[in-house]
Amino acid sequence: MGFDAEGRLLAIDVTQLARCGWSLDLSLAVADRAMLHADNAYLIPHMRITSHRLKTNTQSATAFRGFGGPQGMIGMERIVEQVARHLGKDPVEVRRLNFYAPPGAAKSGAGSGHRFGGAHSPQSPEPDNATPYGMEVTDFILHEMTEDLLRSSDFAARREAIQAWNASNPILKKGLAYAPVKFGISFTLTHLNQAGALVHIYRDGSVMLNHGGTEMGQGLHRKVTQVAATAFGVPLTRVRITATDTARVPNTSATAASSGADLNGMATKAACDTIRDRMAGHLAGLHQTTSDRVEFGDGMVSVGGERMTWDAAVESCYLGRVSLTSTGFYATPDLEWDRIRGKGRPFFYFSYGCAVTEVAIDTLTGENRILRVDILHDCGNSLNPALDIGQIEGGYVQGAGWLTTEELVWDDKGRLRTHAPSTYKIPAVSDRPAVFNVRLWDQPNRVSTIYNSKAVGEPPLMLGISAFLALQDACAACGPNWPDLHAPATPERVLAAVHEARGA
C-alpha cells in the first residue's frame, strides 16, 4: 500500500488467498464477493485486487452470512488502522479522509487508475467516485452517518476517559474503535435477481399470498404481509401467507444476498397493484367516476367520496366478475456484471452502517469483554423497525463472535478439531454488550426499492469488525509497539498481542 503524510490511501495491491477445501462448493462466489468488498468504504485511486482459490486437504468451505463481505472488509480495515498508527493519526479521521465522496461531490480524477483482477481499459476511464470494479458510488452517506454516531456515542470524551483509565490501570486496559460498512445489495449472479408472487382475494375479504422467499426466522413473511396489507389498505390480520411452494411460484431464487424482502416484496406489490387496479376500475364504473378517485385504506374503500367497507368492495367485484387473483414478477433493474473482466454494476445499491465499540481486556490472562456498542445503521425507509433492529443486534453479535471466539483448528491430517459447541465457541447471550445502543438512519433509499427500504440481512455482521479493532486498541495501550493482533482474537492471541505491545 502507498499513502501520503496525511493518511490518504493512494495505491493498494491486495492478494486474497481463499481456503476452499477439497471441493469448490460456493467458494467461487464467496471469494468473488470478498474481492468486491475489498475497498469497503474507501475510494482508492489505484487498486489491484487478486484472488486465488486454494484446494486444501480439509472439508469444503461454503456460504455464511456476509458471503465474502466480512473477509474483504476486515483486510481493508486492518490496512487503514495500520496507516493511522504508522502516521500517529486518529484512525477515525484517516477513515473519514478516505471515504467515497457524498452524492454530488465526486472527487475529480480519482478512480481512473482502478484495477480489478488486473483488468483495465484506458479507453474507458472509470467515473470519478468509482469502485475498483468500475461501479460509480452515487449514494454514499457515511460522512453524515459517522458524524451523527460519533456525536451520539460521545466518542471524543470517551476516548479521553479511556486514555486516562489506561494510564492509571496496569492490569485492565480498555479500547475504543469505530468501523464503517458499505455492503452491496444484489446477487452477483445477475439472473438470480428475480422473484414471483401469487395473490388471491377471497369472497370473504381475506387475502392469500404466496411468494418465492424462505422464512428462516428473519421476519420475511411479516414484511411481505405488510406489503400486501398496505397495498389493499387492510389490517394485517386479513392477510395470510402459505408455505413457499414451487407449485404456486416457480423458479424461485435462493433467499440470500440480503435480497429476500427487496425481491419478494416488489413481486408481491406488483400482484397486489394489478388486482387493486382492476377493483378500482370496476368500482369507478359503478359510481360513474374515474379510477384515480378510488382510494383504499383503513379497511375501507372510498369511491368518489362515498365510502364502503373492504368486504363490500370485494363482494361487488366478485359479483361484477372481476378477477381477484394475480401473479406478480420483479426483476432488479440496472444490473450489469462481467465477471471475467471484473467490470460493471453488480449491485443495485449499497447499504451503510457504522459502529463504535468499547472493550476491556485483562492483561494477565487475555480475557476480554465488550462493554458498550453504539450502532447507526441504514435501512432506508424501514419496513419493520423492530425486525430490522433485531437483525442488526444479532448480526453484530455474530460478527463479533466470528472475530473473537470462533476459532477453527485442524490437525495435521486436515481434520477439523473444533467441530462442536464444546470446542467451537459461538457467542452466547452473556456475550452481548451490557450497553447496546442501536438506531436506524431515517432516510429513504435513493433507488426504487419496496417502499424505498433497504436490505438488512447481511450488512450488520460486518459492524462486528469494530469489536476486533477495539481489542487491538486495548492491546496497543499496553506498550510502545503496535501489536499485530490476529483474528479470531481469542484470549491467547490477545495475551500474545499484549506481550508484543510491551516489546516481549
Distance CA 248, CA 265 (A): 16
Picking from 54-68, 165-179, 462-476, which range would have the lowest pLDDT averaged per residue? 54-68
User: What are the grid coordinates assigned to 444, written together?
Assistant: 429513504
What confidence tier does 126 reach under pLDDT thresholds 50, 70, 90? low
Please, which residues have CB within 8 angstroms of residue 233's CB and are 6 or more apart in sequence?
295, 296, 297, 298, 299, 300, 301, 310
Confidence class for position 114, pLDDT limits 50, 70, 90? very low
- Cβ burial, residue 492 (10 Å; 0-12/13-18/19+): exposed
Element (H, E) at 14: strand 9-21
Radius of gyration of the chain (CA): 26
Distances in whole angstroms, Cα of residue 444 to Cα of each of 2, 111, 262, 448: 37, 27, 14, 10
d(CA 489, CA 78): 14
DSSP annotation string for 282-297: HHHHHTTS-GGGEEEE
Judge whether 2-101+129-187+345-502 and 194-331 match in fold. Answer: yes
Among 140, 386, 137, 349, which residue's Cα sits nearest to residue 259? 349
**305 burial type by CB count under 10 A (0-12 exposed, 13-18 middle, 19+ buried):** exposed
Tell me the backbone φ, ψ of residue 102, rounded to 5 degrees.
Answer: -70, 165
Conformation bin of residue 260: beta by default, left when phi > 0, alpha when psi is -120 to 50: alpha
Rounded Cα–Cα distance for residues 92 and 84 (Å): 9
The answer for residues whose C-beta is within 8 angstroms of residue 278's C-beta and 6 or more apart is 317, 322, 323, 324
Is the model's pLDDT at 121 over the cut of 80?
no
pLDDT at 116 over 90: no
pLDDT at 352 over 90: yes
Answer whether 210's CB lies under 8 Å from 280's CB: no
Looking at the predicted structure, is the pLDDT value of residue 115 above 70?
A: no
Q: What is the pLDDT of residues 211-235, one digit of tens each?
A: 999 999 999 999 999 999 999 999 9
DSSP characters over 349-398: EEEEEEEEEEEEEETTT--EEEEEEEEEEE-BS-S-HHHHHHHHHHHHHH
- Identify the bridge partners of residue 11 per DSSP, sorted by sequence position: 2, 46
Domain ranges of the chain: 2-101+129-187+345-502, 194-331
Count of CB atoms situated within 10 Å of the CB of 54: 12
Give the separation between CA 66 and CA 73, rounded to whole angstroms: 10
Q: Is 136 noted as a catalytic residue in this protein? A: no
Given the residues 160, 458, 492, 500, the one annotated as active site = 458
Confidence of residue 104 (pLDDT cuts 50, 70, 90): confident
Query: How far, in Å, CA of 393 to CA of 419, rounded?
Result: 26
d(CA 37, CA 396): 18
Cα separation, 69 vs 185, in Å, equals 11
Q: Please state, in angstroms and rounded to a whole number, the distance separating the CA atoms of residues 497 and 470.
A: 13
Q: Judge contact between 489 and 359, C-beta under 8 A.
A: no
- Contact between 25 and 62 under an 8 Å Cβ cutoff? The reply is yes
Q: What is the CATH number of domain 2-101+129-187+345-502?
A: 3.30.365.10
Order of strands, edge to edge, in the sheet holding 9-21?
2-3, 9-21, 46-55
pLDDT in tens, 402-448: 999 999 999 998 899 999 999 999 999 999 999 999 999 999 999 99
Q: What is the CA 89 to chain-centroid distance, rounded?
A: 29
Q: What is the model's pTM?
A: 0.93
How is residue 464 annotated by DSSP?
Answer: G
Fold exhibited by the domain 194-331? Aldehyde Oxidoreductase; domain 4 (3.30.365)
3-state DSSP call for residue 156? helix
- Secondary structure of residue 217 in the 3-state scheme: coil
The mean pLDDT of the chain is: 94
pLDDT for res 262: 97
> Which pLDDT does position 127 carry in this prediction?
60
All cell numbers assigned to 48 = 489491484
